[in-house]
Structure 1
Amino acid sequence: MRSSPRQHLLSAALATALGTAFLSWSSLATAQTPGQAARVFDVSVAAQPLSSALNELSRQTGMQFFAAGDVVAGVQSPALSGRLTVQQALERLLAGSGLVAVRSGESQVTVQRQSTAPAERGSLPPVSVTAAPGADGTTENTGSYTTRVTGAGTRMDLSLRETPQSVSVITRQQISDQNLVTLNDVLRQTPGIVADRIDERVSYTSRGFTLSPMIDGIPTLAYASVAGETSIINTAVYDRVEIVRGAAGLLNGVGSPGGSINLVRKRPTTEFSGYVAGGFGSWNRYNTEADLGGKLNESGTVRGRVVASHTDGDSFTDHKKQRNSVFFGIVEVDLAPTTTLAVGYEYQKNAIKGANFGQAPLFYSDGTRTRLPVSFNSSTPWSHWDMTSDRFFVNLEHRLDNGWRVKAEGALVNSKRDRAGGDLWLYPSTFDPFTQEGVLDRGDNPAHGRNKSFDVYATGPFELFGRTHQASIGLNVNRYTYSVYKNNSVLDTADREPVTLYNLSAAPRPQFIYPILNFGEQTEETAIYGSTRLRPTDSLSVILGGRVTWYRNSGYDTDTTGSEPVTTYTPRVRENGVFTPYVGLVYDVSKEFSLYASYTDIFQPNTAKDVNNRVLDPKRGNNIELGIKGEHMDGRLNTSFAVFRSEEDNLAVDIPGAAPLPDGSTPSRAVKGARSKGFEATVSGEIARGWQIMGGYTYHTKRDAEDKLLNTPLPRRLLRIATTYRLPGDWSKLTVGGSLSYQSRIYYDEAYELGRVTQGGLTLLGLMARYDFTKQLSATLNIENVGNKRYYSGLGGYNGYTQGAPRSAWLRATYKF
């Protein structure tokens, strides 16, 4: 692959900047001058033990900090970044620690326990221990619908305003307030994200393109096949979900032009804390949950956290029941004051009875529309879909004296799907409008997958031309294998029988004793990446970055219907040294607003297959975004407006009328010259005292090279708003709120020309109320789809539709320790 002059220029710029960063890992010193406590400094301090953080702050400000070893032992400090006075920096470092800082000289400060601090000492007042919550990006216990710091998109700890891309963060507070139990719940309330439900699987898109998942900022391929499913991920173990809209290829070489979904785990706390909760809701559903954490030894150098959750109950769909069990455990050990080792394990199991594979029919065979009940189930009662995932991870973080930190993580994920069912066959729809008879497709197709990943990176400040800048560089490796098996009850590749539309329960479960085929793939991806944030002036930031990716994919299909198995190997796909550049500019036009621009290339290996079951060529293209961001009320409120344009070749588009592939997916064709453009506006955080909001409006249109509209079953306009308000005065124990979701008109042309189905603009409303009986005990009521509207949550995925949930309620009680 030949590189363009532009790529050579960007590569050179990146290499120069990163090289300078590593040559500048010497201590940063600032000369002491009178009145230093009132000066503003460019501060960049990584999250680390407080003793090390104070040393680093001393080097960057010239101030001297004194603290007894037993006072700061086991105290962790958050990351700092930005232009701050010494007072502001200390407020953030000591937030929540029970420590205060007092002046002991012109350029000396003593840190000590709050109870021993003399009030009359020096001119530096005691530090408030409630200042700057969430300064390290953690959102739990902040009560906020926004975050102060995120590494989404660049790996460097930047505020939303400093990040030159569209980013939304669904915080722990919003997850709890709006009862967002699964990742699907989260993304249905995220600005700019379309959730299109196929069956038990859900497709997520932004700006007309799919998104790629990440865990703690590390790309994962664990959901690249039917062995894993993102929509059912339980949110109980996560502090927040960070969503980047627009190409995210800098950190995610398999990243889509749509962006990335980053799930950030909860971490152990120094002091004991936690909660237990229980709830029940519509359709006989109930839930129990516990979250406990704290130090495991006297000094706090060993900390742990355990999360467990269990949900069970029926569904609005006939004969469907779903059970979900989650366990998460993590232990952190400070091997040294600057080195922390974490070991963790995540387990999740979803068991669904009456599970759907495919959709309900839109038309009868003569072209008349079906009018099926909201509760109609397109699969037999004996159908099931059980998914289990085990994730083991180990990470090691080391903080250097000059503010740099190095972090490495290895993870192993095992996924397993046990699935068998009888599902309506819609290729084509054969259902007679008078007899209601059609065809049931039966089968047993278990699957399993394994993902091994490793990521190591270094990030921190460096000095160049008398100014402080930031940089990050890393290596990422992903290896994923999966296998799918298909077993029938007859010696034939088609296992089908006649069925009556309204009497699927009469179809008995057969014995699936005949292996028909098995197939699988192996994918390997290795990449190096780097970025640097240069500060030529106080107002201008220039972010340069790039990723070089090596990609391998191979697969096989084994036909077991004959006397001897016959295996066919698919052509190996290789991509060597694909360079993905990233350029971003942020210019501060005032204390509150910044203009920004970003450009990145798109490279994403395809997982879609053609009618011959061969993987399509990788997607390639570029993404340009321009916008303005605002940071208000000391970061408690963030706003943004952006315009964007993406271009892509080898976009996978479903082939109408084509029979499903062996894994049940729809075959695709590669489209060249696909382009998406539009604009969006977002707001997140506290707009008034006690009033939190997360909202956004998005418009986009996506067309091919012939100007034909693509993705017509997906809306082009989206409005998402979630909000809560804590009443003042005597009513302060009561918090009220709700959510609003609007999407524009969608339509689908049935694959066999039976007709077009249209759904007009749709608005769904949700309500919530929480009452705090005490500081520890509260109860929350959530009501979804208040208007009880009937709508499609998925259209055309399997030449049919998936019904959206009617009105439902959930009551939950929580006790905090």
Structure 2
Amino acid sequence: MRSSPSHRLPSATLAAALAITFVCGSGSAAAQPAEQATAPSFDIRVPAQPLAAALNELSRQTGAQVLAAGDAVTGIDAPAVSGRLTLQQALDRLLAGSGLMAVRNGPLQVTIRRASGDAAGASLPTVTVEAGTASGADGTTEGTGSYTTRSTATSTRMDLSLRETPQSVTVIGRQQIEDQNLVTLDNVLRQTPGIVADRLDERVTFSSRGFALGTMIDGVPTLAFNTVAGEASMLSTAIYDRVEVIRGSAGLLNGVGSPGGVVNLVRKRPTSQFSGHLTAGAGSWNRYKAEADVGGPLNAAGTLRGRLVASRTAGDSFVDGKKTAEDVAYGILEADLSATTTLALGFEHQKTATDGANFGQSPLFYSDGTRSRLPRSFNSSAPWSYWNMYADKIFANLDQQLGGGWRLKLDASYLKSKRKRASGDLNTYYPVDGATGDATIDIRDNPANSRNTSFDAHLRGPFEAFGRTHEAVLGLSYSDYSYAIDTNLAAPTAFDTRPLNFYTLQSFPAVTVFPYKSYTLSGQVSEKAVYASTRLRLADPLSVIVGARATWYKDASLNRNQVAATLTQNPGAHESGVITPYAGIVYDLSREFSVYGSYTDIFIPNTVRDSGNNLLSPQRGKNYEIGLKGEHLGGKLNTGFAVFRTRESNVAVEDTSAGLLPDGSVPYRAVAGARSRGFELTASGELATGWQMLAGYTYHAKRDNDGALLNPTYPTRLLRVSTSYRLPGEWNRLTVGGSVSYQSGIYYDEYAGLGRASQGGLTLLGLMARYEFTPQLSASLNIENLGDKRYYSGLGGYNGYTYGPPRNVWLKLSYKL
């Protein structure tokens, strides 16, 4: 939010102040009956939400000009309003019981003011702050209709606009998730600017600027997705309000600070008014989905609120013999223990079960060096293979207002994850004879389990110094993660590998008993940290953010080889009080544009092992970023340009010259030094009334000290565009849009030297349309890979490839309660 140049407000006032501007006028509470009789009516569909967001949605649907002071609308929730209504009727319903009224100032302007004053003479404060209502004060995106957000705290723990944050941040909000049918985290990140999603099998790795991404939930770091007992890509988006992505080092809050950045999953919260929806859908390959989401007050005073989400998705896939079922349940209770204290308790459950599941990839080459050219439907695993994931989580958070704008927040969670997996998989590290079909199959049972306990406490608020108001955060966090992965075999050997004619893989006899324990990898990771940051307003146009994190980290694991009857303690990582500094500066060039710069140290204990099964030493480095950000149309549209550079030592890259580790994973080797540099352009939000867009173009190249390109299976250029447009006038029941995803060419040199597999530049198109039959009932259609491109969604992870899905369609009906 930005004040006018002639009168700038302190941060506390900025957070409350608001001026919402619509485009065409209508009557006021004092309008004459004759005027109301001739006023135009509109098909109004405004869900229950904060009043500021409701007024913004009304502007999109009707077009009127309304001014409101932030101190008048802050903290007020509006009920759902729908039907064929005049603007005045809609305003009366939105303002009912709020103590506010609409007053006409002119033919094209309405003022929202307190009803206690004199309507004729009352006016707004002389200073107003133009601010988009793209989200709630806490960044909530649900119900806003926007592809951007007004604030995010993922980078610094302070609620800052995207323009005020000296890093590259993208927020995928609820509206975009619904419009583009982004049902898993994998779907979301494949449409996020600057993010590479590389599919191994049922697992997907996510990276930015050539480096892996960390994970947070509600702003709290989690280690829960470090092993296959907790696969992040499978997470359903049904329970999340938004996904916030920081590109670039996020070491201040997220663990030890991967230079790639962090993904923050923000849960849905209970609403102050009853609301919800029922959704049913069907798609290609016999897929279907049913979802229910309801929430609201549970007592008359509204001090106890709840929300429940339940969904089931199931069906086949384009891969022979593969089918997946996903069940999700989420519940949360939120209680106002006092006027200043709010306590929330919740649970999550997700089960994802896949039959015909893959471990590994399809072969790129036959043993004579010719390309395999297998159909997209080829399944590299036997049909009796399965991969079932279970996750159960309980969490609690306490929000305590301390006065003077200071708040204390406590977050705690416990997650238990489990994997059940057994399979027969084509081994792509062994020769495959294209003429005879001679190949090798790996047979194994691979159960895994993990537990993660996380806790975070932080204090934040304003303070006065040097005649100005500043902000500060002080916090501590703790995370403890334990895991175990077993390898059980059907034969008393170190590996159960058998000859196979891969042309008959789908009829390979099922193996159901695995009596021989071969190998167990177990370990524990603990991380403790204290962190602090402050935002200093050194001058009207200048703010500086400085902070640091001190981390205590320990990683210990052991290998139990039952065949050789040995127990090996792996070399572990143990670091004490490692300081990760953070610094950022933002300078306002005008009311719309700011320049910024940021710097962060990098410290990352490696979790991968070398060919000798030893843990690699920690990575260290530095991350720099400078850029220009814009905030337009009162915050409804955000733009950005960034140039970044990362230097790192002891970087882990796959060691294709070594065999697999005893647990079947790929070994890594350390590169003495690496640097990544590039730039990006982004835009998110409303380009014009009814037209939402998220777009980004990124270039990056990660090279070693000799200039050789690292990770050539990752594209160096990415373009991501997602958009939707609600048609005006008589066609306003229809919304159309789609997505464009481009990536530059990639390549992989086969493990045995059989050749290089490459893929040129790739462009994928998607389409969407939604039609609202009534204010409650709508139907939507999504088409993925419109051009039916044949492409790799993963290359080289297991010396093979994974195909992306061909053209497919999804149709769903949604009913708002």
- For 2:498, the aligned partner's letter is E
- Structure 1 residue 439 corresponds to structure 2 residue 478: no
Structure 2 contact 134–141 (Cα < 8 Å) conserved: no
Go from structure 1 to structure 2 and tell me whether the alpha carbon gap of 1:100 and 1:636 turns closer, same or farther (over 3 Å shift). Answer: farther
Structure 1 contact 727–733 (Cα < 8 Å) conserved: yes
Q: Which runs of 5+ in 2 are unaligned?
A: 1-5, 18-48, 54-66, 80-94, 103-110
Q: Which runs of 5+ in 1 are unaligned?
A: 1-37, 48-52, 55-74, 80-84, 104-110
Q: How does 1:329-408 map to 2 (within 5 A)?
A: 329-408=331-410
Structure 2 contact 271–295 (Cα < 8 Å) conserved: yes
2: CA distance between counterparts of 1:113 and 1:537? Answer: 33
Q: How does 1:450-529 map to 2 (within 5 A)?
A: 450-510=451-511, 511-529=513-531
Structure 2 contact 608–668 (Cα < 8 Å) conserved: yes
Q: How does 1:113-512 map to 2 (within 5 A)?
A: 119-120=119-120, 122-124=122-124, 133-428=135-430, 430-510=431-511, 511-512=513-514
Give per-residue Cα distances to partners, 1:52-95, cap 9 Å, x unaligned: x99xxxxxxxxxxxxxxxxxxxx99999xxxxx99244344446
- Structure 1 residue 96 corresponds to structure 2 residue 78: yes
Q: How does 1:495-644 map to 2 (within 5 A)?
A: 495-510=496-511, 511-562=513-564, 565-644=565-644
Corresponding residue for 1:57? none
Worse-superposed segment, 756-765 or 507-516: 507-516
SS of equivalent residue, structure 2 residue 149: coil
What value does the CA root-mean-square deviation take over the aligned residues? 2.4
Give per-residue Cα distances to partners, 1:526-552, cap 9 Å, x unaligned: 000111000011100100011000001
1: CA distance between counterparts of 2:805 and 2:813? Answer: 23
Go from structure 1 to structure 2 and tell me whether the alpha carbon gap of 1:114 and 1:812 turns closer, same or farther (over 3 Å shift). Answer: farther
Give per-residue Cα distances to partners, 1:306-344, cap 9 Å, x unaligned: 001100000000000000000000001111110011000
Give per-residue Cα distances to partners, 1:704-747, cap 9 Å, x unaligned: 01111100011000000000011111111000000000000100
**1:115 to partner: Cα distance:** 7.5
Q: How does 1:732-771 map to 2 (within 5 A)?
A: 732-771=732-771
Corresponding residue for 1:3? none
- Structure 1 residue 678 corresponds to structure 2 residue 678: yes
Structure 1 contact 78–93 (Cα < 8 Å) conserved: no
SS of equivalent residue, structure 1 residue 173: helix
**1:626 to partner: Cα distance:** 0.5
- For 2:72, the aligned partner's letter is L
2: CA distance between counterparts of 1:115 and 1:88? Answer: 15
SS of equivalent residue, structure 2 residue 764: strand
**1:568 to partner: Cα distance:** 1.3
**1:506 to partner: Cα distance:** 2.1
Go from structure 1 to structure 2 and tell me whether the alpha carbon gap of 1:125 and 1:78 turns closer, same or farther (over 3 Å shift). Answer: closer
SS of equivalent residue, structure 1 residue 672: strand
2: CA distance between counterparts of 1:291 and 1:781? Answer: 20
Go from structure 1 to structure 2 and tell me whether the alpha carbon gap of 1:637 and 1:100 turns closer, same or farther (over 3 Å shift). Answer: farther
- For 2:445, the aligned partner's letter is D
1: CA distance between counterparts of 2:449 and 2:290? Answer: 29
2: CA distance between counterparts of 1:481 and 1:183? Answer: 23
**1:298 to partner: Cα distance:** 0.6
**1:207 to partner: Cα distance:** 0.5
SS of equivalent residue, structure 2 residue 571: strand
2: CA distance between counterparts of 1:46 and 1:615? Answer: 49
SS of equivalent residue, structure 2 residue 188: helix
Structure 1 contact 100–112 (Cα < 8 Å) conserved: no
**1:502 to partner: Cα distance:** 2.1
Structure 2 contact 727–735 (Cα < 8 Å) conserved: yes
2: CA distance between counterparts of 1:207 and 1:46? Answer: 34
- Structure 1 residue 695 corresponds to structure 2 residue 679: no
**1:41 to partner: Cα distance:** 2.2
Corresponding residue for 1:87? 69
2: CA distance between counterparts of 1:816 and 1:368? Answer: 55
Structure 1 contact 184–231 (Cα < 8 Å) conserved: yes
Structure 2 contact 8–540 (Cα < 8 Å) conserved: no
Give per-residue Cα distances to partners, 1:383-404, cap 9 Å, x unaligned: 0000000111011110121001
**1:573 to partner: Cα distance:** 1.7
**1:129 to partner: Cα distance:** 14
Go from structure 1 to structure 2 and tell me whether the alpha carbon gap of 1:718 and 1:347 turns closer, same or farther (over 3 Å shift). Answer: same
Go from structure 1 to structure 2 and tell me whether the alpha carbon gap of 1:46 and 1:484 turns closer, same or farther (over 3 Å shift). Answer: farther
1: CA distance between counterparts of 2:257 and 2:286? Answer: 39
2: CA distance between counterparts of 1:427 and 1:125? Answer: 72
2: CA distance between counterparts of 1:677 and 1:657? Answer: 27
2: CA distance between counterparts of 1:593 and 1:607? Answer: 41
**1:577 to partner: Cα distance:** 0.6
Corresponding residue for 2:92? none
Q: How does 1:775-814 map to 2 (within 5 A)?
A: 775-814=775-814
**1:40 to partner: Cα distance:** 4.5
Q: How does 1:49-68 map to 2 (within 5 A)?
A: none
SS of equivalent residue, structure 1 residue 431: coil
Go from structure 1 to structure 2 and tell me whether the alpha carbon gap of 1:305 and 1:113 turns closer, same or farther (over 3 Å shift). Answer: farther
Structure 1 contact 347–390 (Cα < 8 Å) conserved: yes
Corresponding residue for 2:22? none
Worse-superposed segment, 496-505 or 737-746: 496-505
**1:665 to partner: Cα distance:** 1.9
1: CA distance between counterparts of 2:650 and 2:751? Answer: 22
**1:45 to partner: Cα distance:** 7.0
1: CA distance between counterparts of 2:121 and 2:271? Answer: 32
Go from structure 1 to structure 2 and tell me whether the alpha carbon gap of 1:662 and 1:254 turns closer, same or farther (over 3 Å shift). Answer: farther
Structure 1 contact 102–121 (Cα < 8 Å) conserved: no
- For 2:507, the aligned partner's letter is A
Go from structure 1 to structure 2 and tell me whether the alpha carbon gap of 1:784 and 1:132 turns closer, same or farther (over 3 Å shift). Answer: closer
2: CA distance between counterparts of 1:410 and 1:135? Answer: 23
Go from structure 1 to structure 2 and tell me whether the alpha carbon gap of 1:339 and 1:305 turns closer, same or farther (over 3 Å shift). Answer: same
Structure 1 contact 136–149 (Cα < 8 Å) conserved: yes
2: CA distance between counterparts of 1:724 and 1:102? Answer: 33
**1:281 to partner: Cα distance:** 0.2
SS of equivalent residue, structure 1 residue 346: strand
Corresponding residue for 1:41? 9
SS of equivalent residue, structure 2 residue 69: helix
**1:608 to partner: Cα distance:** 1.0
**1:265 to partner: Cα distance:** 0.3
Worse-superposed segment, 751-760 or 492-501: 492-501
1: CA distance between counterparts of 2:112 and 2:149? Answer: 29
1: CA distance between counterparts of 2:14 and 2:421? Answer: 46
2: CA distance between counterparts of 1:597 and 1:668? Answer: 34
Structure 2 contact 101–115 (Cα < 8 Å) conserved: no
1: CA distance between counterparts of 2:99 and 2:210? Answer: 51
- For 2:295, the aligned partner's letter is G
Worse-superposed segment, 704-713 or 661-670: 661-670
- For 2:509, the aligned partner's letter is P
2: CA distance between counterparts of 1:518 and 1:679? Answer: 43
1: CA distance between counterparts of 2:125 and 2:732? Answer: 31
